[in-house]
Amino acid sequence: MTRRSNKDNLVEHPEIDKLEKQLRKQKAQEMADEAARAHAAEVARAQEEGRDPPPPPPNPQDPAGDKPYPSTTPARNDYEIKPQIIALVRQNQFNGLPAEHPLDHIENFEEICSTTRSNGVSADYLKCKLFSFSLGDKASRWLKSLPAHSITTWDEYKAAFINHFYTKQRSISVRNKISTFAKQQ
C-alpha cells in the first residue's frame, strides 16, 4: 500500500502572504497590549509600595518583524564565537603584572578580534564578549570586581582597563625613558 498525497485537502488562498502578515501583526499587538497591562500593574504595585516604577518594556518599531529595532546587543542570538578564537585570546592573556604593557595588550587583543566575524554581530559586541577571556589573575579579578552592567561598550571597557592598569607611575617611567633617549641624541 502506498501513501497518497493529500493535495485535494489543501485550500488555496490567493493572498496567503498578506493574511500571514496581518495575523503576525495582530498577534504582536496582542502581546504588546498584554505587556503594557503587566507593566501598568507593576507600576501600580511599585507606587503602592513606595518604590520607583520599573522602566517601560521595549517597544519594537515594527511588530511584524519586518524591520529590526535598534539595540546595543546583537539582533540575533544564533551567533557563535569559535573555540579557536577563544583559545587564541587566552594565549595572549594580560595578568596585571608590572612588566606587562596594557596598551600592547589592547592592541594585540583588537588585532585578534579583527580576524573574526559572527552572523552580523558587531565587532564591538564581540570584543566585549571576548575581553574577559583575555584577562588572567589580577586583571581578571579587577574585571569581576566592577559593578554589574557598569560597562556596556568596548570603548568603556578599553578606557576603564587603561585607566586602571596604565598608572601614573608607568606614564612617568615612559616619559623619563623618552627624555633620556632624546638627550642621548
Q: Give residue-wise pLDDT tens across range 7-20.
A: 555 556 566 667 77
Q: Which cell numbers hold the place of 20?
A: 500571514
Whether the Cβ atoms of residue 108 and residue 122 lie closer than 8 Å to each other: no
Has residue 134 got a pLDDT over 90?
A: yes
Mean pLDDT, residues 46-55 taken together:
67
Using CA atoms of 154, 156, 160, 161 in order, give the dihedral in degrees to the nearest 10.
10
- For the chain, the structural domain boundaries read 84-182
How many Cα atoms within 13 Å fall on the side-chain side of residue 169?
Answer: 5
Closest CA to 69 of 38, 33, 32: 32
Quote the pLDDT of residue 107.
Answer: 93
Predicted confidence at residue 135, as pLDDT, reads: 92
Q: In the Cβ-directed half-sphere of 112, how many Cα atoms lie within 13 Å? A: 24
Q: How confident is the model at residue 5 (pLDDT cuts 50, 70, 90)?
A: low
DSSP state of 5: P
Longest dimension (CA), the chain: 97
Helix (H, G, I), strand (E, B) or coil at 114: coil
- Give the model confidence (pLDDT) of 53-104 as tens digits: 666 555 544 344 433 333 445 455 667 788 898 999 999 899 888 888 888 9
- 166-185: per-residue pLDDT in tens? 776 666 676 777 777 766 76
| Angle, alpha carbons 164-166-169 (nearest 5°) | 110
The CA distance from 176 to 2, in Å, is: 89
Measured CA to CA, the distance from residue 85 to residue 112 in angstroms comes to: 8
Scored b (16 or more CB within 10 A) or e, 41-63 reads eeeeeeeeeeeeeeeeeeeeeeb
- Residue 25 confidence (pLDDT): 78
